[in-house]
C-alpha cells in the first residue's frame, strides 16, 4: 500500500459512523424515494435524530405524517399523524417539535397559526430526555370574547354549515380558556351538526383530536 492509498484509507475509516447510518426505518412511508430523512439534527454528544415523513405544503420547516427516529439504531422515537402539522427547531442543543394549531385568536377571531404543544428533546446524563408542554404564551379568551363565541355558536342553525368549523375552533379555544360551557358544546358538536361531508369531517377530526389531546394532557398534569 503506497502512502497516498494509506492516507485515503485512513480518511475513509476516520469518518464518523453516524454519517453513514442516518436512513429512515423500513416500513414507514417517506417523501424521498431513497428513504432519506427530511432533516437530520446532530447533538453535541454526536447523536443524531432525524425526521422521516412528509414536508407540509406550508413549508418553512413544517412537517406532517412523520416520525422522529434515531439515526444510530433506526428506531422510531415518536410519530405524528396526517392531521398534525408541526415545525422543527434546533437550538441550544435541543430539538423542539412545535405542533401548530390554527387558532381563532386574531382580531375578530381571525385564524392565526401558533405553536400549541411543544415537544422538547435533549440529552441528559447521556440519555435522551423529553418534555411536553403547551404554549402558555397564547393567553385566554376574555369574558367578552367568550360571550361572543357563544353568540356565534347559537347562530349556527340559522347560518347553516358555512361557519361551522371556525366556530368549533372558537369553542376549542374557549374550552382551553377554562370554560366548561364551551366544553359541553364541543362534546355534543358532531351529534348536533353532523354528519359532516368528507372535507368538513377532516377539519372536525383535527379540532376534536386536538381537544381530546389537550384534555388528556390536563388530566396528567
Task: Assess whether 191 and 121 both reside in one domain.
Answer: no
Output the pLDDT for position 187: 95
Q: What are the counts of helices (DSSP H) followed by strands (DSSP E) for the chain?
A: 8, 8
Say if residue 16 is in the same domain as residue 74: yes
Write down the pLDDT at residue 162.
74
On whether both 83 and 43 belong to a single domain, the answer is yes
* Cβ pair 99, 115 in contact under 8 A: yes
Residues 183, 101 share a domain? no
Contact of 161 with 194, CB cutoff 8 Å: no
- As a whole number, the mean pLDDT across the chain is 87
Domain carrying residue 213: 143-219
Write the pLDDT tens digit of every residue in 83-123. Answer: 889 999 999 999 999 999 999 999 999 999 999 999 999 99
The answer to whether residues 75 and 93 belong to one domain is yes
If asked whether residues 61 and 168 sit together in one domain, one would say no
Residues 87, 61: contact at Cβ < 8 Å? Answer: yes
Q: Is the dihedral of CA 34, 35, 39, 40 positive or negative?
A: negative
131 and 168 in a single domain? The answer is no
| 88 and 58 both lie in a single domain | yes
List, as own/partner pairs, every contact residues 116-119 make where C-beta atoms lie below 8 angstroms and the sequence separation is at least 24, other chains included.
116/210, 116/214, 117/213, 117/217, 119/78
163 and 77 share one domain: no
- pLDDT tens, position by position, 11-54: 333 333 333 468 899 888 888 877 899 999 999 999 999 999 99
What crossing angle do the helices spanning 164-176 and 143-154 adopt, rounded to 10°? 150
Q: Is residue 153 located within the same domain as residue 114?
A: no
Three cell numbers written together for 91: 437550538
pLDDT of residue 57: 76
Clarify whether residues 208 and 179 are in a common domain. Answer: yes
Residues 110 and 152 in one domain: no
Kindly tell me if the per-residue pLDDT of 145 is higher than 50.
yes
Q: Which of 94, 114, 138 is the last residue of a domain?
A: 138
Count of the separate structural domains present in the chain: 2
Residue 58: pLDDT band by 50, 70, 90 thresholds? Answer: low
Question: Final residue of a domain: which of 90, 123, 138?
Answer: 138
Cα(138)–Cα(33) distance, rounded to whole angstroms? 39
- Residue 186 pLDDT exceeds 90: yes
Least confident of 43-47, 54-58, 137-141: 54-58
Write down which residue in 101, 120, 138 finishes a domain. 138
Q: Is the pTM of this model over 0.75?
A: yes
Amino acid at each position: 500500500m503506497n502512502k497516498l492509498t494509506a492516507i485515503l484509507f485512513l480518511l475513509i475509516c476516520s469518518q464518523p459512523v453516524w454519517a453513514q447510518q442516518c436512513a429512515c426505518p423500513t416500513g414507514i412511508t417517506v417523501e424521498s424515494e431513497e428513504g432519506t430523512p427530511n432533516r437530520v439534527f446532530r447533538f453535541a454528544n454526536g447523536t443524531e435524530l432525524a425526521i422521516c415523513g412528509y414536508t407540509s405544503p406550508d413549508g418553512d420547516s413544517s412537517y406532517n405524517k412523520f416520525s422522529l427516529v434515531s439515526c444510530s439504531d433506526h428506531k422510531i422515537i415518536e410519530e405524528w399523524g396526517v392531521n398534525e402539522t408541526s415545525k422543527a427547531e434546533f437550538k441550544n442543543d435541543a430539538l423542539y417539535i412545535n405542533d401548530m394549531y390554527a387558532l381563532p385568536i386574531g382580531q375578530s377571531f381571525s385564524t392565526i397559526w401558533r405553536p400549541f404543544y411543544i415537544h422538547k428533546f435533549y440529552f441528559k446524563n447521556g440519555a435522551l430526555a423529553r418534555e411536553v408542554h403547551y404554549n402558555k404564551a397564547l393567553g385566554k379568551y376574555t369574558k367578552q370574547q367568550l360571550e361572543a363565541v357563544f353568540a356565534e355558536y347559537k347562530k349556527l342553525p340559522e347560518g347553516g354549515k358555512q361557519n361551522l368549523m371556525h366556530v368549533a375552533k372558537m369553542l376549542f379555544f374557549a374550552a382551553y380558556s377554562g370554560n366548561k360551557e364551551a366544553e359541553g358544546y364541543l362534546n355534543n358538536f358532531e351529534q348536533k351538526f353532523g354528519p359532516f361531508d368528507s372535507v368538513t369531517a377532516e377539519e372536525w377530526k383535527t379540532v376534536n383530536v386536538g381537544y381530546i389531546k389537550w384534555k388528556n394532557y390536563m388530566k396528567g398534569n
